[in-house]
Chains A and B, each alone.
Chain A
């Protein structure tokens, strides 16, 4: 059943659409950051100026080349692409397989499945494939951008004194950011994956009461944005999924340890697992 659902997901138009959207984001960021902002030069538009300063024997510490870890969609704050990407994550995550349960039920396909396979096997595999596809889709722009921008920007460690970033010592994992940035962004990559998986499975959960595909696909986005709004109004950053999974959101890094981020995301995933599994097994049809 798992292999079957996996195959369905891989061949789905939703997955292709999600990957295409991610690629567009990565390409857009590449063009704006590498070609326009850095002008294709290692070090960026300042390179000519600071090359001159270096020739004069100037030891100004703030001179430092652009680094890939501050130059891909997950790590930089110069362009709007970072914010755009994190706003679009709930849409990208649900596209591959988020509405598949709803469509199976609506088309009557579900009845046929339940004749041949147990409910448990179907629901488990559906959940797992949706979770994995949602996480992968959410992470894809992050990975594409990193890989693409590596063609122009060197992977050197960031430095505090260059003032390219807003990561400071009191923020969660700041030491890793400056010494092992691949680990720092790897951890956030895992958080983005979990978040994408959760959002995709949230679409599964709402499928029980959804009336059309558009509602099912947009529900995670509504929840995601609503949590953002609640966080803003209550000034409690951990409610904003968008902020806690963004490596460059300074405010949440100050107030939310990374362990809390993972606890919250895992809690959300467990909640959707429980909800989907229980309701899926018990219900005949709610509406």
Chain B
């Protein structure tokens, strides 16, 4: 009797344990039911890839020695110059030299929908195998393409140049020494339809000795840019009328005006229709700027936008031609809110395709007119620090290449980053 009782108790316990294990297994299977959504779909660059909104084609794939890249695109030299950079401020002499390769891609986006689509330019990460990924350096993106945002009308396409820095500090040494044998892929879409575009036609571009020597000097702690005029230092707020200096070129603002009506007439008045980039203005820009005669860009809070026109005089009083990178943001009285120039019109300055550097000959003068379209945020975004109040408050041009972080230009609080010029 006791044995029978014990038998049933043991049997019950065993059945209970089995039931628990079955329930456990079912629960784990249920939790893992969607695991296939995380599987990566690999597509190859020989055919256009499709996402929900775009057809994506890779037109060019090159693995540059960084020295060769800097030579090919001189406007990005400042990104690899130690002197005056954030690396100098942090006393980091190792990171810049560690970037030995740059992967350069020309990526064409075509809108395959019936609506205007925004291209999220910085969403496309580079993967090297599975354990390394690199996001896009927004500064390089801006400098190579002269844009920081892109929208495409239905059926329209645009080619964007991407440059991914590959540092030996971030990639396993063996893999870094055999980079071309690794699997490079561009992440096109994320979860739940993860799609990677595998790059199979990467060609190496090596630097010659002169390029290497120039580049080594650029990234060394001794710096290379010899200037007769001292550059405007980081952490400077220039007053109205003062000059911004960079690479022996001075910039002074000689006129600031605020317009809020009849933008097409304004563009004609300042000669913007003769812009050196004429023919390169895409349809989407025209639609946004000319709609209803007002500057209407993106969401409704730009309906009451005003336009700030800033006319700058650029001088080179030295004996040699010099180049200057000029893409100043307009900043509000605090410095937190910023807009990039919507248009610029240049005179007497040489401008290269794929560059944002303007070259000025020796002992010469030119001008740049910037047009900024700004509107006040409404609703929950209408915070005091983000207001422009351009009729009553100061305005600044910001020449910093890095995000200055927390600043307050009204109280002259800067944490060592950024160069600002008050224009009003």
Contacts and interface: CB of A to CB of B under 8 A. Distances in A.
Interface stretch (A168-176, A235-243, A266-274): A168-176
A54 interface: yes
Interface string A143-181: 000000011111111011100000111100011011100
Contacts, number: 88
A64 interface: yes
B85 interface: no
A153 B35 CA distance: 11
Interface stretch (B86-94, B170-178, B271-279): B170-178
A151 B24 contact: yes
Interface string B123-141: 1010111111100000000
B116 interface: no
A89 to B, nearest CB: 26
B214 to A, nearest CB: 29
Interface of B: 24, 27-28, 31-32, 34-35, 38, 51-53, 120, 123, 125, 127-133, 169-173, 175, 187-192
Contact of A152 (B31, B38, B127): B31
A32 interface: no
B187 A155 contact: no
Nearest to B54: A59
A143 B32 CA distance: 19
Nearest to A60: B190
Interface string A189-218: 000000000000000000000000000000
A184 to B, nearest CB: 11
Given A59-B189, A160-B127, 14 more contacts: A54-B191, A54-B192, A57-B53, A59-B51, A150-B31, A151-B27, A151-B28, A153-B31, A156-B35, A159-B130, A161-B133, A167-B131, A177-B131, A179-B130
Contacts of A161: 125, 127, 133, 187, 190
A63 interface: yes
Contacts of B123: 59-61
16 contacts: A42-B34, A54-B192, A61-B123, A61-B187, A62-B190, A63-B190, A150-B31, A151-B28, A151-B31, A154-B32, A160-B130, A160-B131, A160-B133, A161-B127, A167-B131, A169-B128
Contacts of B51: 59
A65 interface: yes
Interface of A: 42, 54, 57, 59-65, 150-157, 159-161, 167-170, 174-175, 177-179
B191 A170 contact: no
A54, A59, A151, A160: which has the most chain B beta carbons within 10 Å?
A59
A66 to B, nearest CB: 11
B125, B188, B191: which has the most chain A beta carbons within 10 Å?
B191
Contacts of A154: 31-32, 34-35
Nearest to B28: A150
A60, A152, A169: which has the most chain B beta carbons within 10 Å?
A169
A57 B52 contact: yes
B47 to A, nearest CB: 20
B31 A42 contact: yes
A157, A161, A174: which has the most chain B beta carbons within 10 Å?
A161
B38 A174 contact: no
A154 to B, nearest CB: 5
Contacts of B31: 42, 150-154
Given A152-B31, A154-B34, A175-B130, A169 B190 contact: no
A64 B190 contact: yes
Contacts of A57: 52-53
Contact of B190 (A61, A156, A177, A178): A61
A131 to B, nearest CB: 29
A170 B190 CA distance: 24
A224 B38 CA distance: 40
Nearest to B51: A59
